[in-house]
Structure 1
């Protein structure tokens, strides 16, 4: 069974109603990124950061997987599908995808501010000041904030090197280091890029661009992959 590796981004979740900060001049739900999604913001105003992510969880709970998510799950019948997502929601999993690596963390998980290895599933949507880990320190969102390292890259790179087919869907390929993952895909491997804007893919020749939204583009790709 061929290995199909997928790099997904905010565009796939946008069709489910989850907004991204790139939708409105650097604002994310009317907040500046610097105020809610950086280590400095956490140190400056943890209550604001906690409230912001509480609201994001409430929003995510009302969202449903869309056709693009469902097609990726269905492709597991034909391929060994590995999804590498920049998204922090759980829509891929809810659609039925079994192998999902979250590069930028997970919205419904929290972790210790003292020991980043202490990670917990959050029961519900609310994380409050005074919610502590087993080591006695405040819990924070299990999210990779701007300015923080992306430890999951070490898992993602070998996945890309093993790809027989590589798909980019719903990402502008502008956020690094995630955007650099395509450079680890062997030159002989076909790459499909699904995005209305056709983002640039550096130094590759065998790239097929599908200039459509995620759902329509995935329908077209499925027809090409399954004859």
Structure 2
């Protein structure tokens, strides 16, 4: 499950972000200001941060610089201002996108999904998960001495699961990552691809398997948590 850090001194905004993202399958960690946010990151590094610009003790621009320089965490800035100068300051600080308050929850989701897709494509070129190795440049999957040749969607699905082995991905997140957030089909497509991947992994001597977490989604188990 992907984790988002929500940082805002307005408890109503933080709760809106939490409700919106939790309903979409994300885990949300809340912080009231920049210093608390950095303490939370020390405990658990999130996949993305939603950061308000105007906060006491440490403003959003300073926090964004810290998150990007120390942990390379993608950042979506929230602000009540819409001036070009403020947007420029946010992007110079390292933010990936900018959303003006008040905002529609659906737009928040769209922007977060877009950032995460760009980030995954940028960083996950080589993936290691137990005995499993994935090369996203050559589309090769290696397990031990065996090389698997997979159709594109199966390859992308396995890549997402392997990017955080032994962690659960919701069905919605898997559909968004592999088929896109505007996918209009049903979940049966995901079921079929999961079954095909399981069949291909089942005959291998190394312990790599896709496990169903009932009512939530799937995870890739590699035998070493």
Q: TM-score, normalised by structure 2?
A: 0.36
Structure holding more helix per residue: 2
From the CA coordinates, give the structure whose radius of gyration is larger: 2
Which one scores higher on RCO, CA 8 angstroms, separation ≥ 6?
1
